[in-house]
Structure 1
Amino acid sequence: MPPRQFDGSLVRAVRRRRDMHQRELGEMVGVSGATVARWESGQDFPKGEKLPAIASALGQPLDELFPHEGPPDLQLLRCDAGFSVSEASEIIGASRVPVSNAESGRRRLNDNYVQPLATAYGVTEDELLSAQDRSFGIRPASLRDDQKAAPHTIGEKINFLLQYGLTGEEALSDAEIARLVNHHVPAAAVTAEVIAHLREGTVTEASDDVRAGLARAFEVPPWLFGDDAELTPLVREFLEAIRFIGSIHQGQVLGLAARGNSEGLSVEMMAGINRLVGELRHKLPEVQDGE
């Protein structure tokens, strides 16, 4: 799940509308005015647990000032409650390890920690456990927003890749998609009209040759255009990685705050994200074949 988006220029605009100095905002959230200046200029980003205090100080709803997509995981619950990892650890009387492990999907919380953390975060135990599932990459298929986020039909996948494709180039036309499909897989013999019908949903079936050609045209693994009405968590993870990088290309993601990151999107981080996508491309077909 993407973190809350932080736009320093928006924070600056809201602060100025309230006739508030950077020093005043800093005092209200427990940092210096210079720190606020770095946030607003994009040189730095606040930790996730600071976002509720910033929104409150500026008199803005948290979800409007710092939006995020989808239901929360454990880290977002903690940050939205205004707790650091150390503070959350104090609540359960433990070191930072149990909280950090659960948030990073390495080891689940001890049952004894669930109730006190749920109370501190202001959620039910079931909500906390659902958030923990999401930290481990488990997303119930019944969640409406999750269904919307994951394309199922061939047309939905084409539209998804046109919107979030990794190259950052202009979207391909139906004619160009057809040309690429026929170039890579001559046996497909698909037309621009067929591509348009697929994208519109008036046609939902396609031959294996067309599917293979679409995968080559969009430079994605062939299984992505398979007939998979039930998408696995790993496939969803791959699609979310595409969506995340596509959002970066479009300037929609301006900083990583809800994850406790204070450095924003560095060149190294972007390289790491791209490496992740590359690894998933090779990893996922093997997992799928073994199921």
Structure 2
Amino acid sequence: MPARLFDAQALLLARRDENRKQSDVATEVGVSAARVSAWETGRSVPDPEKLPRLAAAVRRDLDTLFPRNGRPDLADLRADAGYSQSATRALTGTRTPGPVAAAENGQRRLSKEYEQRLADAYGVSVDALRRAQERSFGHDVPEPGESSAAKTASADSGSGVLPATLAGKITYVLDRMPAPVTDAALAARGNDLVGAEVLTEDLVHDLRTGVVTSASDEVLRALAEALDTTPLMFRSHDAGVERVIAETLVLRNQVAAIAARGGAEAGLSAELLAFISKEVSNARREALASYDHEG
């Protein structure tokens, strides 16, 4: 499920920008001020169905404050409408949320008698509801009128090889990150690491979704820094180079996951983990040096 990207810092800044207290936001969302504080400090993450009210409480557009990287499935539509799964009992007129839960889990499709009720409650058409349902069953159903670049980016990101398009490559890296990252956060990180205002939130969004299909070397470098990869990933069309980059990304994430568990489960010592991490970093620096030489 392409859950919305929750950014604690963005929430905090939006609330302060609107000169609202945590208690004000808490009242509108229906939680305690302590819960809002926990969200803003990253100690916890709000349930998906609370995000619409949370965005409204800080006077921000839902898609802008909490963007989603991908097409919505049934659970996404429900959450965007502000309903918990248990609350759908009132919508379907059933004693349990079973019909909705089964459809969201890709086990049993909704009966037609429920489709119109849920579509009305979610604020979408029946066709949109059915497309979302198919995604819950693992089918990558595009939206009507969706650009071919966006379709390619989505399809590319799920493969085991490095995608061919710039949008696909960006999505490939994002899908393998340990936690969701917003376009705004990527832009800020890239600019900070290269020491220049190269990226903007809108530019990152357009590159990620395929609206913009190419970029200058300066932009690619900042983007690579933000994603902790090499600009060669976006610049090279050599299959061998791309395979090495893809395998390095996988190895880096595996090392990070093992390190997070202390290495004990995999039988790796702290020294060995440090060595592997160092070698991966060295490979990245060598690739970057090669990029500089070629440029």
- Determine if the alignment matches structure 1 residue 171 to structure 2 residue 230: yes
Unaligned runs of 5+ in 1: 175-194, 200-209, 221-241, 250-266, 269-291
- 1:147 Cα deviation after fit: 2.4
The residue aligned with 1:81 is 81
Preserved contact between residue 162 and residue 169 of structure 2 (Cα < 8 Å) = no
Q: Deviations over 1:2-44 (max 9, x none)?
A: 2101111111111112221111110111000000000001111
Runs of 4+ in 1 over 6 A off after TM superposition: 152-155
Q: Deviations over 1:60-98 (max 9, x none)?
A: 111001100232111111111111111112210121211
In 2, the alpha carbon distance for the partners of 1:217 and 1:56 equals 41
The residue aligned with 1:57 is 57
The residue aligned with 1:134 is 135
The residue aligned with 1:185 is none
Counting matched residue pairs gives: 194
Q: Deviations over 1:154-212 (max 9, x none)?
A: 884486568619598642748xxxxxxxxxxxxxxxxxxxx94x36xxxxxxxxxx67x
In 2, the alpha carbon distance for the partners of 1:9 and 1:214 equals 34
In 1, the alpha carbon distance for the partners of 2:20 and 2:82 equals 22
In 2, the alpha carbon distance for the partners of 1:13 and 1:108 equals 41
Preserved contact between residue 104 and residue 135 of structure 1 (Cα < 8 Å) = yes
The residue aligned with 1:218 is 246
In 2, the alpha carbon distance for the partners of 1:135 and 1:54 equals 25
Aligned-pair RMSD on alpha carbons?
A: 3.5
Q: Quick one: which amino acid aligns to residue 64 of structure 2?
A: E
In 1, the alpha carbon distance for the partners of 2:154 and 2:67 equals 16
- 1:125 Cα deviation after fit: 0.7
Q: Quick one: which amino acid aligns to residue 219 of structure 1?
A: E
Preserved contact between residue 4 and residue 66 of structure 1 (Cα < 8 Å) = yes
Identical residues among aligned pairs (%):
35
Closer/same/farther in 2, CA of residues 79 and 5 from structure 1, 3 Å limit: same
Closer/same/farther in 2, CA of residues 26 and 169 from structure 1, 3 Å limit: closer
Closer/same/farther in 2, CA of residues 115 and 19 from structure 1, 3 Å limit: same
Q: 1:69-108 alignment to 2 at 5 Å?
A: 69-94=69-94, 95-108=96-109
Preserved contact between residue 103 and residue 135 of structure 1 (Cα < 8 Å) = yes
In 1, the alpha carbon distance for the partners of 2:38 and 2:126 equals 37
Q: Quick one: which amino acid aligns to residue 6 of structure 1?
A: F
Q: Secondary structure at the match of 2:86?
A: helix
Closer/same/farther in 2, CA of residues 127 and 169 from structure 1, 3 Å limit: closer
Preserved contact between residue 161 and residue 218 of structure 1 (Cα < 8 Å) = no
The residue aligned with 1:124 is 125
The residue aligned with 2:152 is 147
Preserved contact between residue 162 and residue 242 of structure 2 (Cα < 8 Å) = no
In 2, the alpha carbon distance for the partners of 1:102 and 1:46 equals 23
Preserved contact between residue 139 and residue 146 of structure 1 (Cα < 8 Å) = no
Closer/same/farther in 2, CA of residues 216 and 155 from structure 1, 3 Å limit: closer
TM-score (norm 1): 0.57
In 1, the alpha carbon distance for the partners of 2:228 and 2:61 equals 35
- 1:101 Cα deviation after fit: 1.3
The residue aligned with 2:39 is 39
In 1, the alpha carbon distance for the partners of 2:245 and 2:28 equals 52
Q: Quick one: which amino acid aligns to residue 246 of structure 2?
A: F
Unaligned runs of 5+ in 2: 178-226, 262-295
The residue aligned with 2:18 is 18
Closer/same/farther in 2, CA of residues 57 and 218 from structure 1, 3 Å limit: closer
Closer/same/farther in 2, CA of residues 8 and 169 from structure 1, 3 Å limit: closer
Q: Deviations over 1:268-291 (max 9, x none)?
A: 9xxxxxxxxxxxxxxxxxxxxxxx
Q: Secondary structure at the match of 2:54?
A: helix
- Determine if the alignment matches structure 1 residue 109 to structure 2 residue 110: yes
Q: Which has the higher contact order (CA 8 A, sep 6+)?
A: 1
In 2, the alpha carbon distance for the partners of 1:66 and 1:133 equals 23
Preserved contact between residue 162 and residue 246 of structure 2 (Cα < 8 Å) = no
In 2, the alpha carbon distance for the partners of 1:132 and 1:60 equals 28
Preserved contact between residue 74 and residue 133 of structure 2 (Cα < 8 Å) = yes
